[in-house]
Homo-oligomer: A and B are copies of this chain.
Amino acid sequence: MSSNQLWIYDTTLRDGAQREGIALSIEDKLKIARKLDKMGVPFIEGGWPGANPKDVQFFWRLKETPLEHSEVVAFCSTRRPNRVAAEDSLLQAILTAGTHWVAIFGKSWDLHVTEGLHTTLEENLAMIGDTLEYLRSQGRRVIYDAEHWFDGYKANRDYALKTLRTALEAGAEWLVLCDTNGGALPHEVTQIIEEVREALPELQTTGENSPRLGIHTHNDGGTAVANAIAAVMAGAKMVQGTINGYGERCGNANLCTLIPNLQLKLGYDCVTPEQLARLTLTSRAVSEIVNLAPDDHAPFVGRSAFAHKGGIHVSAVAKNPLTYEHITPEVIGNRRRIVISDQSGLSNVLAKARSFGIDLEQDDQTCRQILAELKVLEKEGYQFEAAEASFELLMRSAIAQRPHRFHLKGFQVHCNASDVIESNALATIKVSVNGEDLLEVAEGNGPVSALDQALRKALVRFYPQIAEFYLTDYKVRILDSNSGTSAKTRVLVESSNGEQRWTTVGVSTNIIDASYQAVVEGIEYGLLLRSQSVPEGSPLKAPIL
């Protein structure tokens, strides 16, 4: 174990789940835990069995197929005032979780003891001491979370330090200083941690079994990551945070930002290089499991984190990436992207074409033609930054490399609803394949679904691989919100064939039209991918064209 070792402690499943809009099932929690385990996170806080009884199931489900790298931790408060620890149901609940490690939070701020718990400062110390001793007597290893540490320390330094001393004497192996309200700034964190280390001589020893400091920060002041870095530089060895910074209010410290800063820039050891290369994947998988759109602009792991737009940047990055990138994106599993947009110059179009495997020359007339068409479409409301599959189709059209596998001749949709029967939708579609006109009809739960069904019904006998395609996301944006429901609508559709994902775009004043354009291009692009990626002669290769 190197002296640069840090212990990452993930609390996505507990503190992260407090974010508005997140509601995790046990299956969701298990999936996230396995992603964290694969990334080599040493500690995973799984839940608070005393507050959420179903959390106990999570711990037991994990025992059936244990994690490989991570210790799973159960979370709880100290015992309640004026009770015996062994008789407090909260502590019984945490024991039933059956974990080696437990995290216990206690009050550091005198105000919270007297105003929140309505008890005495002495009783609070007893609550900390009793709880930890009891859990130690049951064979558990204890992480002590000092809630509201920084505010408490500023309000009453001596009392706050007494709570830590009590926890140490009762057998805590880790003392985690929490900025619960998230308002501390880095210089305060540095100073207070230095003072704590001075005040508690136990923290100055460096043996294998010496107690150590940890840090838990929230982002209310926008400095959660910087605060955690400041703490580590002042001697904290455990860093608590969440994937994508999920958490109540403004979130917790974002581990996807912290880990690469600590490891790549400051030289600490958090995970192996192979595990670090899973960071972007993990970030996106977790955002999918919790069903929140990923933040494209997130440091390190965002889709735009290494995106280049301006003409100067694009040509410079092509020559020497380090001139415009603070790290190499591949190290954390991300990649460089050239952005296509209204501001694009010819060099962007060329770079994009190359990334699609399309040969274009700067002085090629086609190149200017693509740029001109792009600008017209963007003016109409299309946006290709997020819909690269549609952009590739547009490019292939321009160079006459877009196979016309089918041609849509028209559709009709009928929906009806009453307060008696379930609503339903019926779609009729006319499509021509190889000069043959096909008329198909299908029902669906909604109009887009009915259209999608009708189209697949018509096409699947020509292109059996369509049966594997499915839609993974569907986003609608009103472009001119002042015109209300009659405004222009932009629809982005993400499709998958189980291995790859691609996004297409449609724009219309009619949401059905816009959805339909995007669905049709989604199917078209999927067929293109298949015919490119499947080796010659394979029976799955598009049979016609």
Contacts and interface: CB of A to CB of B under 8 A. Distances in A.
Contacts of A474: 476, 478, 481, 485, 489
B485 A185 contact: no
Given A222-B254, A482-B472, A486-B446, A23 B342 contact: yes
A220 interface: yes
A20 B310 CA distance: 11
Contact of A510 (B418, B425, B486): B425
Contact of A305 (B111, B220, B489): B220
Main secondary structure, interface of A, reads mixed
A251 interface: yes
Contact of A446 (B182, B305, B511): B511
Contacts of A410: 416-420
Interface string A393-435: 0000000000000001111111111111001110000100000
B385 A20 contact: yes
Nearest to A421: B410
Contacts of A307: 20, 248-249
B419 A326 contact: no
A485 B448 contact: yes
Interface stretch (A271-279, A315-323, A349-357, A524-532): A315-323
Nearest to A299: B222
A460 interface: no
Nearest to A316: B116
A124 interface: no
Given A250-B298, A476-B475, A510 B116 contact: no
A339 B21 CA distance: 10
A342 B183 CA distance: 27
Interface stretch (A130-138, A160-168, A192-200, A223-231): A223-231
A323 B226 CA distance: 23
A186 B452 contact: no
A470 B478 CA distance: 13
Interface string A166-182: 00000000000000111
A509 B222 contact: no
A383 interface: yes
**Most B-side CB within 10 Å, residue of A249, A309, A424:** A249
A470 B446 contact: no
Contacts of A304: 19-20, 248-250
B513 A417 contact: yes
B20 A249 contact: no
Interface string A303-345: 0111101101000100110011111000000000001011100
A266 interface: yes
Contact of A182 (B251, B326, B473): B326
Contact of A415 (B109, B288, B413): B413
* Size class of the contact patch on chain A: 35 or more
Interface in A445-485: 445-449, 452, 470-476, 478-479, 481-482, 484-485
Nearest to A233: B187
A472 B481 contact: yes
Contacts of A476: 474-476
A227 B254 CA distance: 17
B185 A261 contact: yes
B411 A297 contact: no
Interface in A203-241: 219-223, 225-227, 229-230, 233
Interface string A505-516: 000111111011
A415 B323 contact: no
Given A20-B309, A485-B519, 7 more contacts: A23-B343, A185-B226, A186-B226, A291-B481, A414-B414, A470-B482, A473-B478
20 contacts: A19-B297, A183-B265, A186-B230, A220-B300, A221-B299, A223-B225, A223-B226, A249-B304, A250-B298, A250-B305, A410-B418, A413-B416, A418-B430, A423-B508, A446-B489, A447-B447, A447-B510, A447-B512, A449-B485, A475-B476
Interface of A: 18-21, 23, 109, 111-112, 115-116, 180-183, 185-187, 219-223, 225-227, 229-230, 233, 248-251, 254, 257-258, 261, 265-266, 288, 291, 296-300, 302, 304-307, 309-310, 312, 316, 319-320, 323-327, 339, 341-343, 378, 383, 385-386, 408-420, 423-425, 430, 444-449, 452, 470-476, 478-479, 481-482, 484-487, 489, 508-513, 515-516, 519
